Amino acid sequence: MEKIKNVYELAQLKDKYQKEFEEIKLRVLVCAGTGCVAGGSLDVFAEFKRLIGEMGIDVDCELDHEDSCAKGVKVAKSGCHGFCAQGPLVRIEPADILYTHVKVADVEEIVKETLLKGNVVERLTYTNPMTGEKFAKEHEIPFYKKQLRRALANCGTIDPESLEEYIAHEGYNGLGNALIKTPEEVINDVLASGLRGRGGGGFPTGKKWQFTRIAEGDKKYIICNGDEGDPGAFMDRSVLEGDPHRVVEGMAIAGYAVGADEGYIYVRAEYPMAIKRLKIAIKEAEEAGLLGENILGTNFNFSLHIKEGAGAFVCGEETALIASIEGKRGMPNPKPPFPANKGLYGCPTVINNVETFANVPMILNKGVEYFRSVGVPNNPGTKTFALTGQVANTGLIEVPMGTTLREIVFDIGGGILGNRKYKAVQIGGPSGGCLTEDHLDIQLDFDSLKTVGAMIGSGGLVVMDEKTCIVEVARFFMNFTQNESCGKCVLCREGTKRMLEILEKIVNGKGTTEDLDLLTELGETIKDGSLCGLGKTAPNPVLTTMKYFKEEYLHHVENKICDAKVCAALKVYQVNPSKCKGCTRCARVCPVGAISGKVKEVHSIDVLKCIKCGACASSCAFDAIEEV
Amino acid sequence: MTSSSVPKAQRSFEKVNEIVRKYEAKQSALIPILQEVQEEYRYLPEEILTYVATALDISPATVYGVATFYAQFSLDPKGKYVISVCDGTACHVRNSSPVLNAIKKKVNLPDGKKTTDDLRFTIQTVSCLGACGLAPVVVINEKVYGQMTPEAIELILDQLMKEEGDN
């Protein structure tokens, strides 16, 4: 694309691309997010192109070709539609049809029936696993119906590798609007919008910008934190893969507002597709004069670099991330000084999360009021969540702040798999907390969650059902944080190790009641004695589960019973009296003499002596020994 | 590292030089330099770490410190196929452990090791691959396999070993 000279030219381009975009009669969008690609969506995409070409349908005209596709069909790869478990997904616009689990062999039927005749291929539409109800139109599917996709508006709708499509969807309009304001006005807009950092803490974004703006220094930096290390969260990945220009635009606006001319996007190396699409987006933006020098004919200069992370969870902490960009071990530093005063290479630095930047263009483009029109007081706007675990519809969702957990799990998520009982949701990954049945009606926003000891964190929601052992999950998180502790603070380094040991003891059936007190004490101490967010929040999963599932912990240590029957060491073998013939075989094979009983009488197992080896069960000819 | 696969004398530093030059020997580029070195050699040989330290004018301890801090870097040779089993929360609650065990068994991974003796397979767990909607997930080199079961991964490995045999 040629350099866009000024804001007016950008507006003209938008009109032109929009018009061209509207003229496309049919668009076939094949999801090319990581999830669907894994399911073979790229082959589906190739098959569409091949078949449509073969059949001579006017197709695949690029948007930037003049007088092109007045009657065409466009096949495009899109970013993540969010409904990952149903992939590969194919969406037909403007008919709003969504096909799920599409395979190469299905393409011919879609082309013949839907593209040529306008019929819906029933068997490929979404079926509600609970009710068997079928939905052809995407917006009617319960998973989408309750969502409000704003930050994700373009994800799955546009081709992430096309700047033209982004511009056609009012892309870079926010930057254009920002550049005709003063930097202070831009900051005031962001302040007035009430946007709070989507990375977890919920700090007002406008304030961060203001601090950086007034900090002394000629050189300032913008950093986008895309080190999404929380297991169970993938919203940053989806935004970067599905709408990379939005993040680039948000960062450029921030650069203008605080007076920075350089920015870094820190992305996990585990997200190769996000890195690839960002590289394309940055190159396109540079060519179009939306990055680089004299952006849109003004004297604002801004350049962007990508930094690939090398795998360290603690780098999600801002001071550690800065150390990592500088080429050092990613260990956190004490705050203050805050990055706003002394950040990258000692210069004032704004560091925001991917989703935060993705919200910024909307505020400048559609206005503060639009942004504030949803959400709850003090927590305006929307929030994306990664909904995973034992729920029927897993995927990436976006809802207004303040939506209740019940709406998310049961309406959008479609309830628990296999109609089992809801147990808890782990929110915010290893630093978050768990929400029980009592919390189902809690509003998900920064302030409400704080009152129950949880936090939004990165926005991962892992749903657990009655078959999940809460103690084992706590052990799992502790294992994670213990591995990821950078080792700087003694309490975090050693304390998480000790907590993990105790939890392992408990799931192995060797825990005592005193261990529970020790866990609480250690947890509180680690929170107090750690420098960064990792240590301060590492005990959260243990502390909150101990608070809400005390019974389950007590069962583990006192009765040596795992209610969910997950912990192998706590399995209990019992003799079913109606099946036992009293053959004495089990008593003979038991290596510890835990089975007693007379010949031809029902035997019994001494639970305290039993070592759970299972020898009795496998030797019994009558299946009389059962695991409970 | 006495038993590295290529004798020291034969190792050429040409490629390393090229990588260091590309980043203008900047100290802040240490991580991308190590990433490219690892891509070239599949691991970070010790003598190359020392070489990079000299080229960047920093202490070998600093380079070693960075190389051991990040999970991505390996000081031992990695196998031809790197199999990453996701053990993020979503995958964990959807039973990733049996999948991991099935892989270990299939490729005959010795206890306590990450790479098979013939340097064909490296098995590692990762915290999250961001494909939670497909849990549990396994990635072999760069290809993502979703909704895995012990049976499914066995078929994939069979196929892989067969192709390997054909070559």
What are A406-412's contacts with CB under 8 Å, separation 24+? A406/A440, A406/A441, A407/A146, A408/A444, A408/A461, A409/A440, A409/A461, A409/A463, A411/A142, A411/A145, A411/A146, A412/A142, A412/A143, A412/A146, A412/A147, A412/A387
Per-residue pLDDT, averaged over A515-536, amounts to 95
Chain A hits for B94, Cβ within 8 Å: 389-390
Determine, yes or no, domain membership for A5.
Answer: no
Q: What is the pLDDT of residues A166-224, one digit of tens each?
A: 999 999 999 999 999 999 999 999 999 999 999 877 899 999 999 999 999 999 999 99
- Domain end, chosen from A559, A582, A617, is at A559
3 state SS of A13: helix
3 state SS of A209: helix
Per-residue pLDDT, averaged over B100-126, amounts to 90
- pLDDT-based confidence at residue A69 (cuts at 50, 70, 90): very low
3 state SS of B45: coil
pLDDT for A49 beyond 50: yes
Query: In CATH, what number is assigned to the domain containing residue A106?
Result: 3.40.30.10
Per-residue pLDDT, averaged over A391-404, amounts to 92
Of B94, B128, B133, the CB nearest to A231: B128
For B142, nearest residue in chain A (alpha carbons): A272
Per-residue pLDDT, averaged over B78-95, amounts to 87
A126 and A33 within one domain:
yes
Mutation target vs B (from A230, A238, A270; most B CBs, 10 A cutoff) = A270
- pLDDT-based confidence at residue A65 (cuts at 50, 70, 90): very low
Per-residue pLDDT, averaged over B46-66, amounts to 95
Q: Which CATH class is domain B81-166?
A: alpha beta
pLDDT for A57 beyond 80: no
Mutation target vs A (from B127, B129, B153; most A CBs, 10 A cutoff) = B127
A405 and A269 within one domain:
no
Query: In CATH, what number is assigned to the domain containing residue A507?
Result: 1.20.1440.230
**Predicted local confidence at residue A59, as pLDDT:** 56
**Predicted local confidence at residue A331, as pLDDT:** 95
pTM for this prediction: 0.88
- Domain end, chosen from A372, A388, A415, is at A372
Determine, yes or no, domain membership for A70.
Answer: yes
A123 and A58 within one domain:
yes
- pLDDT-based confidence at residue A64 (cuts at 50, 70, 90): very low
A218 and A314 within one domain:
yes
A167 and A103 within one domain:
no
Of B66, B89, B145, the CB nearest to A231: B89
CA A604, CA A378: separation in Å to the nearest integer? Answer: 62
pLDDT for A505 beyond 70: yes
CA B74, CA A200: separation in Å to the nearest integer? Answer: 31
Higher pLDDT, A454 or A325: A325
Higher pLDDT, A229 or A370: A370
Contact B130, A227 (CB under 8 A): no
Query: In CATH, what number is assigned to the domain containing residue A383?
Result: 3.10.20.600
- Ranked by mean pLDDT, the top range of A578-582, B30-34, B76-80 is B30-34
**Predicted local confidence at residue B1, as pLDDT:** 42
Mean pLDDT score across all residues of chain A: 91
**Predicted local confidence at residue A433, as pLDDT:** 86
**Predicted local confidence at residue B167, as pLDDT:** 63
What does the longest C-alpha to C-alpha distance in chain A come to? Answer: 97
State whether ipTM is beyond 0.90. Answer: no
A506 and A434 within one domain:
no
The domain limits of chain B are 8-69, 81-166
Q: What is the pLDDT of residues A235-293, one digit of tens each?
A: 899 999 999 999 999 999 999 999 999 999 999 888 888 999 999 999 999 999 999 99
A395 and A361 within one domain:
no
- What topology is assigned to B8-69 in CATH? Arc Repressor Mutant, subunit A (1.10.10)
CB contact under 8 A, B132 and A234: yes
A347 and A209 within one domain:
yes
Q: State which residues form the domain around A202.
A: 163-372
- pLDDT-based confidence at residue B146 (cuts at 50, 70, 90): confident
- pLDDT-based confidence at residue A619 (cuts at 50, 70, 90): confident
A102 and A83 within one domain:
yes
Q: What is the pLDDT of residues B114-125, one digit of tens each?
A: 899 888 999 998
Report yes or no: B93 at the A interface, CB cutoff 8 Å.
yes
CA A337, CA A341: separation in Å to the nearest integer? Answer: 6
Determine, yes or no, domain membership for A270.
Answer: yes
Report yes or no: B64 at the A interface, CB cutoff 8 Å.
no
**Predicted local confidence at residue A344, as pLDDT:** 97
- pLDDT-based confidence at residue A53 (cuts at 50, 70, 90): confident
Per-residue pLDDT, averaged over A416-434, amounts to 88
CA A237, CA A157: separation in Å to the nearest integer? Answer: 16
- pLDDT-based confidence at residue A413 (cuts at 50, 70, 90): very high
**Predicted local confidence at residue A417, as pLDDT:** 84
A190 and A117 within one domain:
no
Tokens standing for residue A454: 């949880």
Total count of domains within chain A: 5
**Predicted local confidence at residue A58, as pLDDT:** 62
For B84, nearest residue in chain A (alpha carbons): A270
For B25, nearest residue in chain A (alpha carbons): A327
**Predicted local confidence at residue A103, as pLDDT:** 94
**Predicted local confidence at residue A225, as pLDDT:** 96
Q: Would you tell me how many other CB atoms lie within 10 Å of the CB of residue B23? A: 17
Q: Would you tell me how many other CB atoms lie within 10 Å of the CB of residue A133? A: 12
pLDDT for B21 beyond 60: yes
Lowest mean pLDDT among A8-22, A478-492, A598-612: A598-612
**Predicted local confidence at residue A565, as pLDDT:** 82
A21 and A70 within one domain:
yes
Higher pLDDT, A123 or A65: A123
Chain B hits for A272, Cβ within 8 Å: 142
Contact A165, A62 (CB under 8 A): no
Tokens standing for residue A214: 């007034």
A336 and A237 within one domain:
yes
pLDDT for A70 beyond 50: no
Residue A366 burial (C-beta neighbours within 10 Å; 0-12, 13-18, 19+): middle
**Predicted local confidence at residue A435, as pLDDT:** 92
Contact A315, A308 (CB under 8 A): no
- Domain end, chosen from A372, A388, A411, is at A372
Higher pLDDT, A175 or A610: A175
Q: Nearest 5°: CA angle at A319, between A216 and B130? A: 130
CB contact under 8 A, A234 and B130: yes
Report yes or no: B144 at the A interface, CB cutoff 8 Å.
yes
CA A110, CA A620: separation in Å to the nearest integer? Answer: 56
Contact A29, A93 (CB under 8 A): yes
Higher pLDDT, B85 or A568: B85
pLDDT for B2 beyond 50: no
SS (H, E, C) A49-109: HHHHHHCCCCECCCCCCCCCCCCCEEEEEECCCCCHHHCCCEEEECCCEEECCCCHHHHHH
Q: What percent of chain B has pLDDT over 90?
A: 55
CB contact under 8 A, B94 and A390: yes
CB contact under 8 A, A232 and B88: yes
**Predicted local confidence at residue A388, as pLDDT:** 87
Per-residue pLDDT, averaged over A290-312, amounts to 95
